């Protein structure tokens, strides 16, 4: 194995969804990381960029690696930011090859998320709703706030993203909601309310509202509101660059190389 900076082994990383917004930034940052090597760039077979060098797709990615339709042997870990269907196929392929998985694809589908988790029985896997340090701290602190304030405070979560985002609510909003539910005894499948319209009736003490904004070029905005009859607390995280997510995913990829098969979280990577 190649040894990188300060004696660390270089992680051989494949990127699935390499021509997408996140994929391009992942490739660019890996090429600048002395402890990581970009070894494969994967995109769906019909992508018109198939066969092009990644440096021609993302100028900051100084690499001769060519876009290809399928994961091949030779990578230590694959980072997947694609689509639910693409991630499902990638997880099966990674299982076949014994390659670790770092997944950033998000969806509200609880059954799909449970299905993806099964791959951790064969390979080490991290499936994160968000890879930023700040957001992972927000998951933990938002849950602590909810537990401390109790049922006298109504909780609402609002997320905002660019108008190209295709799923709602965001994985990060679901992560915040899930952490709050876990800390307060709520049911994430029964107590979350996704927007409100019409005669919805009086708000219950258990419900947590989750709302999505799609506007302009917003990279990622998440606010948890806690309100009683007498005061309101707002807890906000705003991403100023998509690179914060890419850097976190690369950190996770380097961390997971060599780990035994199992399901890991960003809390493990960050030591939270």
Q: Does residue 43 contact residue 82 with C-beta atoms inside 8 Å?
A: no
**Helices marked H in 167-221 — which ranges?**
171-184
Q: Does residue 132 contact residue 245 with C-beta atoms inside 8 Å?
A: yes
**In 3-state terms, what secondary structure has residue 239?**
coil
Rounded (10°) angle between helices 21-31 and 243-256: 60
Q: Does residue 66 contact residue 41 with C-beta atoms inside 8 Å?
A: yes
Q: How far is CA 148 from CA 134, 141, 151, in A?
A: 21, 10, 9
Q: Does residue 30 contact residue 7 with C-beta atoms inside 8 Å?
A: no
Tokens representing 119? 């791959």
Taking alpha carbons only, the member of 110, 220, 113, 111 closest to residue 165 is: 220
Residues with catalytic annotation?
A: 161, 165
At which residue do the structure tokens 């390499």 appear? 18
Q: E strands of the chain, at which residues?
A: 11-16, 36-42, 67-68, 77-80, 100-103, 124-127, 154-161, 192-194, 208-214, 221-227, 232-238, 262-264
């Amino acid at each position: 194995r190649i040894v990188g900076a300060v004696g660390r082994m270089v992680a051989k990383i494949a990127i699935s969804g390499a021509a997408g917004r996140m994929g391009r930034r992942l490739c660019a940052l890996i090429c600048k990381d002395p402890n990581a090597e970009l070894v494969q760039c994967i995109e769906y077979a019909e992508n018109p960029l198939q066969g092009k060098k990644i440096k021609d797709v993302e100028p900051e990615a100084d690499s001769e690696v060519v876009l290809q339709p399928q994961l091949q042997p030779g990578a230590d870990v694959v980072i997947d930011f694609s689509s639910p269907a693409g991630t499902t196929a990638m997880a099966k392929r990674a299982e076949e090859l014994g390659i670790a998985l770092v997944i950033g694809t998000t969806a509200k589908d609880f059954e799909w998320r449970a299905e993806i988790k099964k791959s951790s029985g064969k390979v080490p896997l991290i499936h994160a709703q968000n890879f930023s340090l700040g957001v992972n701290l927000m998951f933990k602190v938002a849950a602590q706030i909810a537990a401390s304030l109790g049922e006298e405070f109504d909780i609402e979560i609002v997320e905002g993203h660019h108008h190209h985002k295709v799923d709602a609510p965001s994985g990060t909003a679901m992560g915040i909601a899930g952490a709050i539910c876990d800390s307060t005894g709520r049911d994430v499948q029964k107590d979350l309310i996704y927007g409100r319209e019409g005669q919805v009736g009086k708000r219950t003490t258990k419900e947590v509202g989750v709302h999505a904004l799609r506007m302009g070029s917003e990279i990622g905005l998440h606010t948890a509101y806690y309100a009683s009859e007498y005061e309101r607390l707002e807890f906000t995280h705003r991403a100023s660059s998509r690179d914060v997510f890419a850097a976190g995913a690369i950190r996770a990829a380097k961390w997971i190389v060599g780990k035994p098969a199992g399901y890991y979280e960003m809390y493990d990577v960050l030591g939270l």
